[in-house]
Structure 1
Amino acid sequence: MKQTHSAKQKIKQLFYILFPILVTQVSLFGMNFFDTVMSGHVSARDLAGVAIGASIWSPIFTGLCGIIMALTPIISQLVGADQKEKVSYQVIQGIYLAVAIAISIIIIGACLLDPILGGMGVDPEVKRIAYHYLLSLAWGIVPLFIYTALRCFMDALGQTVSTMVISLLSLPINVALNYVLIFGKLGFPTYGGVGAGIASAITYWCILLIAVFVVWRKKPFRSYHVFHQAFPLSFRTWKEQLVIGIPIGFSIFFETSIFAAVTLLMSNYTTETVAAHQAAINFASLVYMMPMSISLALTIAVGFEVGAERLQDARQYSRIGISFSTLMSIFSAIGLLVFHEQIAGMYTTDPTVLALTKHFLMYAIFFQLSDGIAAPIQGALRGYKDVNATFVMAFISYWVLGLPIGLFLAKFTSIAAYGYWIGLISGLAFGAVFLSIRLWKIQHPGKQHFPLRKIVE
């Protein structure tokens, strides 16, 4: 990151940060995308089993990784304030925290996974696939969380190209392992959907090893001496990171868990409905990578400018990012409208699942506009370290408004399963409006009394 002096320079720097983040997000999401698509070509049960397993794992993973994401604004503000000597300590403490979180999840999952799946009332074979998919995935949780901490460090320096390269290397590894393990190639048994979990766990170990090598040996990361000193564990620093990270994590958890909850509620419908819903959500989530990537880029850029106390520059970055995200969401919505039949065909050849998926994708169009506004605003707010607003927004818009509306429409109207999607759309729209107002208040301190949070000491 470097100081910019014009809108043209800011656009250039923001896109320099953004493009690698987008490639990284799409690559990481591509693992889930190919898990779903390739499992769906084994059977509808394999697709449904992976869908349910992913619906349980995704909100847990993204929510807890959101806690680790506190490192990004912390480090970006430290670099902006020219306090680079404090970066290594924050990264090591973030790794310690990541390991503690990962181990806790494994222990809790070992106790609760079977009762959760048992209480869902799904087809026994679907339950078996979901259970063993998650059990296999658990072997990769610790390396995945450590990698997330290292990725936050690399991204916070504006070196998003490095994480892009790592992600690009990981995707073909995962796809190749999926092919071998899902379909039983090269002498391996045919694991079906369970093979996707095994492949993901192995891939997580691979990307961690690559990331450690990059941070240890490559510029500019090695100048921060991240692994040169074994700092003692500091609960005080954990607390500082958790104060920022927990609201980020919970806001992400509330957002992703609502989709998981809807998928689990869908288990009351046919296996074909579950499969179609998951296919449509999977593609909508893929499209979401663009506004999400802009959000992450804005956290870095805005955090850097706030750390240097250049608040006008932070506002300008916010306007650029939000405008571009909104424009891209319009193009995405048009693309879904025109090509929804072809998109549905990527996931399944089953005529019933295909027809249902096409219908669900039409509702996904309305996700794009709200996401295009809300996501980059969340990123800008995190750059200011204003994380509690997004936490409150996520809870109200999804769980107080979205889910009850969806439940009512699904249970008491003829639109049935599609009612859940209308509820989700309603929650997203409210969140976009709420966050827009919040960012305006923060960026106009002369009109509002807002205590800007400064750098973590």
Structure 2
Amino acid sequence: MESSLPLERKSFRFAKIVMPILITQIALYLVTFFDILMTGRYDTYHLAGVTIGSSFWVPVYTGLAGILMALTPIIAQQIGARRHEEIRPSVQQGIYVAIALAIVVFGLILFVFFPIIRTMSLDAPVGSIAIDYLKGMCVGLAPLFAYTVLRSFFDALGSTRVSMVIILISAPINIVLNYLLIYGHFGFPELGGAGAGYASGITYWIVFTIAAAVALTGKPYQKFELLKHWQMPRWTYWKEILLIGVPIGMSIFIETSIFSVVTLMMSAYSTEVISAHQVALNFTSLLYMIPLSISMGATILVGQSIGANRNDDARSYSLLGISFAVIFSFVGIAILLIFREQIASLYTTDRSIITLSAQFFVFAALFQLSDAVQAPIQGALRGYKDVNVTFLMGFISLWVIGLPVGYVVASYTDLGPFGYWVGLIAGLTVGATTLSFRLRAVQRKHALQTP
């Protein structure tokens, strides 16, 4: 590790780490983006089905995959402290955890989600389309979780460009598979929304295969000998991963599931409202890739700094992350307000859905700033391995404040479905404020502990 850098070089290093992460996140997101976009072009009912299926898939996958994100600060601190011999067993045990999590998700989908979808009050074909979409996604469960482990390994080493290249290769393949399986071109079966699920599942196998090949044959990574001296599952490693990862995963779950719950509550409205809500949510999720990528960069750099006992550097990287995210949030706000209808028209030609989506975008613009503050703070706190209080704060701000406020506004005012977005704005604002205080407290604690 290099000695402490001046602020301008820290800024350059932060940007150098974050840019490949951002490209990777956008490319990963494009898998879901094109699922929604291409299904919307196929049929409104299939769009609604994929929307419902995604509402179950996204929070559970991201929440449980978030557990594996514990490997990023763990390995980053091992790198900072030059404990390289600990990296191989950490990765191997992480793969065991990934397989276990894939089994858990498969069981949830099969025995919990499918029965729930069958009992929902949905238009006739929507429920069956949602179930078929999830069946397709299950094809890629195991490789998707295993890839998350390898990506954490690459990222913790600062090799964020590796994940970028892998996903840039894979994303176009997913688009081609969508084209073949949704629409049934070139002799392939016309599966509609289900085809989007199967296309993603196949793509995840491709992503994992490439990542594994790089980890085993790439010169910078061969020295870690990830497949040599393979160990049996060891509780010592599982315990560290779970103690850090479960709060991270739960934090991510409560963030993503709140949007999914809101989507499910939208099922009380028309198919057009469900589709418009999903269009707005889908695009704002794309914009969220910026603060999310900055957050992941903050985890890496803060973790490496803390591992090397450079507390001042950790504080600097935390501040840089917040500053970058806030600046970019204003760009996102402008895009949402100025190009609302043009963005909506990318997803559908249905005029009623375009009009409703444009209205949702106004509310989406209002929580961009809160997202820009809380995301990098969460990333910095993970670099410090401070995760439990973050989870509690997120739960209170979104579920105790945000969802009830949204329900009241939606049910007892003329805003109707837009009221749920008002609740999201309230919850995210509270979360950003409380996390700011938490970061300051953790930084003071580390400053006192640093010799």
Give me the TM-score of the superposition, normalised by structure 2.
0.98
Query: What are the superposed Cα offsets for residues 49-97 of structure 1, whole Å, 9 maximum, x if unpaired?
Result: 0011011000001100110000000000000000001000000000000
Q: Which residue of 2 aligns with 1:178?
A: 178
Partner secondary structure for residue 224 of structure 1: coil
What letter is aligned with 1:164?
M
Summarize the Cα distance change of 1:446–1:100 in structure 2 as closer, same or farther, 3 Å threshold.
closer
Query: What are the superposed Cα offsets for residues 143-179 of structure 1, whole Å, 9 maximum, x if unpaired?
Result: 0000000000000000000000001011001000000
1:32 partnered with 2:32: yes
Q: Which residue of 1 aligns with 2:298?
A: 298
Partner secondary structure for residue 139 of structure 2: helix
Q: Which residue of 2 aligns with 1:344?
A: 344
Q: Which residue of 1 aligns with 2:63?
A: 63
What letter is aligned with 1:229?
H
1:316 is displaced (CA, Å) by: 0.7
1:443 partnered with 2:449: no
Q: How does 1:120-135 map to 2 (within 5 A)?
A: 120-135=120-135
Higher deviation after alignment, 108-117 or 335-344: 108-117
1:191 is displaced (CA, Å) by: 0.8
Q: Which residue of 2 aligns with 1:362?
A: 362
Asked if structure 2 preserves the Cα contact closer than 8 Å seen for 1:143 and 1:205, the reply is: yes
Query: What are the superposed Cα offsets for residues 5-59 of structure 1, whole Å, 9 maximum, x if unpaired?
Result: 2112111111111000000000000000000000000111011100110110000
Q: Distance in 2 between matches of 1:364 and 1:81?
A: 42
User: When the two structures are aligned, how many residues end up with a matched partner?
Assistant: 450
1:108 is displaced (CA, Å) by: 2.6
% identical equivalent positions: 49
Asked if structure 2 preserves the Cα contact closer than 8 Å seen for 1:318 and 1:377, the reply is: yes
1:105 is displaced (CA, Å) by: 1.4
What letter is aligned with 2:86?
K
- Any gaps of 5 or more consecutive residues in structure 2? none
Asked if structure 2 preserves the Cα contact closer than 8 Å seen for 1:120 and 1:264, the reply is: no
Q: Which residue of 1 aligns with 2:255?
A: 255
1:2 is displaced (CA, Å) by: 4.1
Q: Which residue of 2 aligns with 1:318?
A: 318
RMSD of the TM alignment (CA)? 1.2
1:446 is displaced (CA, Å) by: 8.3
Q: Which residue of 2 aligns with 1:335?
A: 335
Q: Distance in 2 between matches of 1:334 and 1:257?
A: 27
What letter is aligned with 1:342?
Q
1:4 is displaced (CA, Å) by: 3.8
Asked if structure 1 preserves the Cα contact closer than 8 Å seen for 2:109 and 2:134, the reply is: no
Q: Which residue of 1 aligns with 2:195?
A: 195
Give me the TM-score of the superposition, normalised by structure 1.
0.97
Query: What are the superposed Cα offsets for residues 110-151 of structure 1, whole Å, 9 maximum, x if unpaired?
Result: 111221102221112000110000011101100000000000
Asked if structure 2 preserves the Cα contact closer than 8 Å seen for 1:402 and 1:423, the reply is: yes
- Any gaps of 5 or more consecutive residues in structure 1? 453-457
Partner secondary structure for residue 288 of structure 1: helix
Q: How does 1:88-103 map to 2 (within 5 A)?
A: 88-103=88-103
Q: Which residue of 2 aligns with 1:455?
A: none
1:220 is displaced (CA, Å) by: 1.1
Q: How does 1:34-433 map to 2 (within 5 A)?
A: 34-433=34-433
Asked if structure 2 preserves the Cα contact closer than 8 Å seen for 1:374 and 1:431, the reply is: yes
Q: Distance in 2 between matches of 1:199 and 1:349?
A: 24
Query: What are the superposed Cα offsets for residues 253-310 of structure 1, whole Å, 9 maximum, x if unpaired?
Result: 0000000000000001000000000000000100000000000000000000000010
Q: Distance in 2 between matches of 1:443 and 1:150?
A: 29
What letter is aligned with 1:223?
K
Q: Distance in 2 between matches of 1:252 and 1:104?
A: 17
**4+ long deviations beyond 6 Å:** none
Q: Distance in 1 between matches of 2:285 and 2:3?
A: 33
Q: Distance in 1 between matches of 2:119 and 2:374?
A: 34
What letter is aligned with 1:309?
N
Q: Distance in 2 between matches of 1:367 and 1:130?
A: 29
Query: What are the superposed Cα offsets for residues 369-425 of structure 1, whole Å, 9 maximum, x if unpaired?
Result: 000100000000000000012201110011000000011111111111000000001
